[in-house]
Structure 1
Amino acid sequence: MYPATIQELEAILTIQDLCYHEIEPESPEAMVSKINISPDTCFVAKDTQGIRGYLLSIPASLGNPPQLHSDTQTLDQHPNCLYLHDLAIHPNARGMGVGKLLLQQFATTATQKQFKHASLISIQNSVPFWQKYGFSVISPDTALEKKLKTYGDNATYMECCLEDYFAKADKAY
């Protein structure tokens, strides 16, 4: 596991393009803004063949995820969770444990930063996948509902107590 940097941007954008079909991929500027705002919570998995997957996350507040397609990110003054913005694995690396490694790094980092919760927006019908890791669907308020619309028709906001994540993660793999 390695920190995501701007040097990996081309590979990250390629993987993003290969993985997302229901939403418009984010611009290079939007991806860079996430890496720059929280470099210690963004990771890549790589081997001798290059970048195999990435995970971008940002400290945030429960119920207040960052806007999709934003070229300028700002951190909440008092974040209470680690928001998992994007997890994508190159199609040629699926089934190799890359996602598991990235998710373990995410959960470990969240715990080290003393967050007790994680959040994400599930897209492309991935709710069952995230539920295996302890994430639960949360009914959005009006402000959150507005943000969810930018993530596509099937976007679902989810939260997880990190204790639940660690309890379920071993069983999910």
Structure 2
Amino acid sequence: MSDWRPMRVADIPSVAAISDAVHGDYTEQAAVYANRLQLHPRGCWLLERDGKAIGYLISHPWEGTQPPALNQLIEKLPEPADHYYLHDLALLPDARGTGAAQVAIVIVQDQAEKIGARRIALTAVNGADAFWGRNGFTAMAAGGTYGGDSLAMERFL
């Protein structure tokens, strides 16, 4: 059985290991995940199956047209924010195809609605834009801040 639960500080090493396994060149240092957890714990979740971490979700309020810089700490989140940012959803192969990603999207939508956001934004990398497109996200601009194969995408609520 898989289950999303709120992320804890003790989960950060597992989150970093999953990121390394899933994201390749787009992985971030553990300090970045700890930073997002500290700033917006309601947007940070861990997916477990039989007590083992198999995925994670990080999201938070944001503003402007540029996503947070890759692998950089954020000093503070904007107040008020003009949208909600899905910073990262990473699932190990065992978690894919289980419906866990759709549950994560519902979690993000719920968090966005709680802050009054009318839009969720993300940056798709490594060809994930097809997945996000199937889940209601559309391209905002060709290319992305994270490199030539990244794509800024959004979904209105």
Q: Do they superpose with TM above 0.5?
A: yes
Gap change, CA 1:110 and 1:72, over 3 Å in 2:
closer
Q: What displacement does 1:24 show?
A: 4.1
Q: What displacement does 1:62 show?
A: 4.4
- Name the residue aligned to 2:136: 134
- How far apart, CA to CA, are the structure 2 residues paired with 1:156 and 1:91? 23
- Name the residue aligned to 1:44: 46
Identity over aligned pairs, percent: 24
Q: What displacement does 1:122 show?
A: 0.7
2:86 counterpart (84, 87, 95): 84
- How far apart, CA to CA, are the structure 1 residues paired with 2:60 and 2:75? 9
Gaps of 5+ in 1: 163-173
Structure 2 contact 15–30 (Cα < 8 Å) conserved:
no
2:18 counterpart (15, 18, 31): 15
For these two proteins, the number of residue pairs brought into alignment is: 154
The structure whose residues are more often strand, as a share, is 2
The structure whose residues are more often helix, as a share, is 1
The one-letter code of the counterpart of 1:100 is Q
Structure 1 contact 52–98 (Cα < 8 Å) conserved:
no
- How far apart, CA to CA, are the structure 1 residues paired with 2:113 and 2:130? 24
Structure 2 contact 59–86 (Cα < 8 Å) conserved:
yes
Q: What displacement does 1:19 show?
A: 0.5
- Name the residue aligned to 1:3: 6
Matched, 1:154 2:149: yes
Mean Cα deviation higher: 88-97 or 117-126: 88-97
Instruction: Calculate the aligned-residue CA RMSD, in Å.
Output: 1.8
Q: What displacement does 1:30 show?
A: 1.3
SS in 1 for 2:116: coil
